[in-house]
Amino acid sequence: MNSPHPVERALVVEDDASWQQILAEVCGDLGLAVDLAESLEGAASLIRATPHRVAVLDLSLGGPDHRNQDGLLVLEAIRRQDPGCASLILTGFATVEVAVRAIQAQGAFTCLQKESFRRAEFRSLIRAALAAAPPVLEKDNLPASQPGTGLPGESTSSAGGEKPTPAPLPALVVEDDAGWRSLICELLREAGYQPSESVSYVDALGRLRSADFRLVVADLSLASSLSPESNQDGYRILAQARKAGVPAIIVSGYADPADIERAYAEYQLFACLEKQGFNRRAFIETAQRAGRPARCAELGSLTGREIEVLALLARGFKNKEIAAALYITPNTVKRHLKSLFSKLGVNTRSSAVAEAARAGLVKKNP
């Protein structure tokens, strides 16, 4: 008689009994056998005893001592002894630095805040962690370079005359609504991307620093983990995307014109789509344009002065500032911009910079 298929196990390391119960219930509802620990020593014993497919770790296992970070030691033990286990950090005291360290250096799947915890969202993240490949760290999780241009939907010829489908382009989705996150990921796959999901700024920051994404899709109005009274997390994500030289698309349920103008002006936003009038085909086409590599022949046709204008544009200079830096008039700047827009086949400043940055014509922002 065949033995039954082994049940996948979850490890919950949490020193608060109420949180233990909540986390164990969700994992149990997903068909996981749950092992509970409330200390570093107890977790270490369970890690040695049996492999786990997913682990949920409280950062602080020291009771009222908020400086305690034993959860990171548990994370390190999992990384070394159980590399097939996807780990989620859940905490009420995480900082951006801690989250980045957990995700980038120690391979955590994500970092969640207790104050913004929602069962449905947590359940979706556990499912995503179970579906993900075992975590890899640092350079190992950078996507392999592909031949050809990398344009979504484009094929490249092999020696045998075949045209294999290129590997999907990596994209980061930052959205705290599970329904919208699922829809955006579905459409990105159709557009030729492999999306990674994130629900908060701290998690997105860690992922942007540890992987080479070709596109960021974010909501401006996230459940803020940093400043609930003055939510700026969406703009922080745009700033990090710009710093990394990655085009960003906003899909927002509250698209105030002033906010969107700010996003275009300060963060070189590639596009903004409103949830109220969301069009699936328009989103797919926009994502494909954002991932399109720069056209080298057209870039090569730029004059020396146009390249200088483009370089200053990439640094966020306004027309008057470009004119002052190059000792020309604002009207001359406008003529140069019109010319280089035409040569690059774009309509916005952010699109021009994105095209040039992907071709290496201008440096990414430091």
In a shared domain, residues 60 and 114: yes
User: Does a structural domain hold residue 147?
Assistant: no
Q: Rounded to an integer, what distance in angstroms lies between the CA atom of residue 328 and that of residue 104?
A: 45
pLDDT per residue as tens digits for the range 256-314: 777 777 777 777 788 888 887 788 888 998 888 887 654 444 566 778 788 888 888 88
Average pLDDT in the chain:
77
pLDDT given at position 172? 93
* CA angle at 254 for the pair 250 and 260, rounded to the nearest 5°: 50
Lowest model confidence (mean pLDDT) among 13-17, 41-45, 261-265: 261-265
pLDDT given at position 331? 92
Task: Mark which of 232, 257, 290 sits at the end of a domain.
Answer: 290
In a shared domain, residues 74 and 127: yes
pLDDT given at position 188? 92
Q: Which residues pair with 37 in a beta bridge?
A: 13
pLDDT given at position 334? 92
| Secondary structure (H, E, C), the chain | CCCCCCCCEEEEECCCHHHHHHHHHHHHHCCCEEEEECCHHHHHHHHHHCCCCEEEEECCCCCCCCCCCHHHHHHHHHHHHCCCCEEEEEECCCCHHHHHHHHHHCCCCEEEEHHHCCHHHHHHHHHHHHHCCCCCCHHHHCCCCCCCCCCCCCCCCCCCCCCCCCCCEEEEEECCCHHHHHHHHHHHHHCCEEEEEECCHHHHHHHHHHCCCCEEEECCCCCCCCCCCCCCHHHHHHHHHHHHCCCEEEEECCCCHHHHHHHHHHHCCCEEEECCCCCHHHHHHHHHHHCCCCCHHHHHCCCHHHHHHHHHHHCCCCHHHHHHHHCCCHHHHHHHHHHHHHHHCCCCHHHHHHHHHHCCCCCCCC
In a shared domain, residues 27 and 86: yes
pLDDT given at position 33? 93
In a shared domain, residues 247 and 349: no
pLDDT of 149 over the 50 cut: no
pLDDT given at position 257? 76
User: Does a structural domain hold residue 365?
Assistant: no
Q: Rounded to an integer, what distance in angstroms lies between the CA atom of residue 270 and that of residue 351?
A: 6
Q: How confident is residue 34, by pLDDT bands cut at 50, 70 and 90?
A: very high
Domain ranges, residue 265:
167-290
Comparing 310 with 138, the larger pLDDT belongs to 310
Short-list 247, 257, 199, 254, CA closest to 223: 199
pLDDT of 30 over the 70 cut: yes
Comparing 71 with 92, the larger pLDDT belongs to 71
pLDDT of 150 over the 80 cut: no
pLDDT of 117 over the 90 cut: no
In a shared domain, residues 193 and 103: no
Euclidean distance between the first and the last CA atom of the chain, given in angstroms as a whole number: 63
Short-list 89, 63, 68, CA closest to 78: 89
CATH of the domain at 218: 3.40.50.2300
Model pTM greater than 0.75? no
pLDDT given at position 93? 62
Comparing 90 with 361, the larger pLDDT belongs to 90
In a shared domain, residues 278 and 315: no
pLDDT given at position 23? 93
Q: How many structural domains comprise the chain?
A: 3
Q: What is the mean pLDDT of residues 327-352?
A: 85
pLDDT given at position 294? 46
In a shared domain, residues 258 and 354: no
In a shared domain, residues 228 and 192: yes
pLDDT of 346 over the 90 cut: no
- CB of 46 closer than 8 Å to CB of 37: yes
pLDDT per residue as tens digits for the range 207-230: 887 778 889 999 887 765 555 455
